[in-house]
Structure 1
Amino acid sequence: MVEDEAVIGCTGELLIGTRGSAGPGEILVRIRGGSETFLAWSTEPLPMGAAVLVIESRGCREVDVIKWADPLEALGGDPADAG
């Protein structure tokens, strides 16, 4: 198994929702100067369009994800105002 450690810690959007233990979804991640898709596994079902954080690589373009909320958005801030 070849793990892709570069993707760990990246955030992305689910193109296809995950089904928990019933099966993976698909995530679009900005990485390596472009965008790539990976099969995404989660412990609980997550809907299409959900923001997620990659927490582990399973190798072969498969990752484990958790639901993600941007800290600035959670505080009611606009990410555009951060710089």
Structure 2
Amino acid sequence: MSVTDDSAQSPVGAVGRITVPIPAGGPGEVLVAVRGGSEAYAAWSDRPIGTNVRVLVTDRVSARSVVVEPLPE
């Protein structure tokens, strides 16, 4: 039996696009290019972010939930 280190699978540092707007105090959804494809994650931010905004993943809360911040325009 081998143990898999999933740190290489982390989306932290990846750029994504908001697909479901992030409201104040709640999650939205971000589509992030990882592992040769795109994956959707629940996305949290310290401020609301609208649909189609490009963001940077800054932290991973759980396997399917991340913290994001808007990229400078």
Deviations 1:3-52 (A, max 9, x none): x642000010000010131x100000000000000000000000011110
* Alignment-derived partner of residue 28 in structure 1: 31
Structure with the higher fraction of residues in helix conformation = 1
Larger-Rg structure = 1
For the residues of structure 2 that align with 1:17 and 1:51, how far apart are their CA atoms?
12
Q: Which runs of 4+ in 1 moved over 2 A?
A: none
40, 43, 48: which one aligns with 1:40: 43
1:20–1:41 CA contact under 8 A, matched in 2: no
Q: TM-score, normalised by structure 1?
A: 0.74
Measured on the aligned residues, the alpha-carbon RMSD in Å equals 1.4
- Kindly tell me the number of residue pairs found equivalent between the two proteins: 66
**Structure 2: 5+ residue runs without aligned partners?**
1-5
Identical counterparts, % of pairs: 36
